[in-house]
Amino acid sequence: MRRVLAVPTVSVIVVTRDRPRFLADALASVVAQERSPLEVRLGDDGGGNAAAVVDRIPLLELTLLPLALGHAGAARNAAAVGARGEVLAFLDDDDLWQPQHLAGLAQAFADPEVGLAWRDCDVVRERVTEDGTRVALERRTLAREWDDRLMRSDDYLPPSAFAIRRSLFESLGGFDVSFRFSEDWDLLLRAAAAARVSRVPGVTAEVRIRAPGGAESHANANLTRPARHGERQHRVDPGEREQQRGGGHQHRHSQP
């Protein structure tokens, strides 16, 4: 008889800072998942607007964590502390998931050897009107198997597309907060070196980017990141990686 592997539980990790209208869309996409997460852990890293959004959106279980860290990796680490799911799935507060996203990821982790898995994603350039309407202008798809050589020069897996087994995340020490940016890229490389990785084909994540300035830019300049997935070539070797460490940490939420 063929043994049926258990599908693990998933904790969703979201961090936000003073972007309530984007956060509402992101959380709505979590609510719409065909496979509901065990829990959502939301780190409010400044602004204090997340509570009002949470009150308007019904989730099975949501823990709101007030933070004041000013760094996306540190905020994700803090939100992950105490998570009960066997797998951690990350969602940036301005990105979106399609309803099949978590179901596909969870199935990949039914293989106990898999430590990191991801879905394909669309990078969507959008315009936000004065009344808050989000208008998609163009999109392109990122759909690649793991390529270790390419990943060392071009990070094509945004946080909203991947999930990691919690035990692996904890053994790696989470996101390395000594990086000013690209802390998620660093985590991907370390995870792939330590465990089996798995791509789940199919576009189920939308990474949203906007032009700077006016209603299209982010509500808080402290959330900007120096480049955006699908548009950047990091080209970081071990020496350059050390130069990225140190002060001046930045959130890596979207801005081209």
pLDDT tens track for 13-52:
999 998 999 999 999 999 999 999 999 999 999 878 899 9
CA 97 to chain CA centroid, Å, is 10
| Separation of alpha carbons 204 and 143, rounded Å | 11
- Total residue length of the chain: 256
pLDDT bin (cut points 50, 70, 90) of residue 223 is very low
Query: Which two structure tokens, joined as six digits, stand for 154?
Result: 């071009």
Query: Which two structure tokens, joined as six digits, stand for 140?
Result: 């392109």
**Strand 114-128 to 196-210 pairing:** parallel
State the pLDDT at residue 76. Answer: 97
Radius of gyration of the chain (CA): 17
| Residues in contact with 117: Cβ distance below 8 Å, sequence separation at least 6, in sequence order | 105, 108, 109, 162, 163, 197, 198, 199, 200
> Do residues 221 and 153 lie in contact, with contact meaning Cβ atoms separated by under 8 Å?
no
pLDDT at 248 over 70: no
Q: What confidence tens digit (pLDDT) does each residue in 78-95 have?
A: 999 999 999 999 999 999
Q: Which residue(s) pair with 136 in the sheet?
A: 126
Q: What is the DSSP letter of 237?
A: -
Q: pTM to 2 decimals?
A: 0.83
pLDDT bin (cut points 50, 70, 90) of residue 132 is confident
Domain ranges of the chain: 10-244
| Separation of alpha carbons 234 and 228, rounded Å | 10
State the pLDDT at residue 181. Answer: 86
Domain 10-244: assigned CATH number: 3.90.550.10
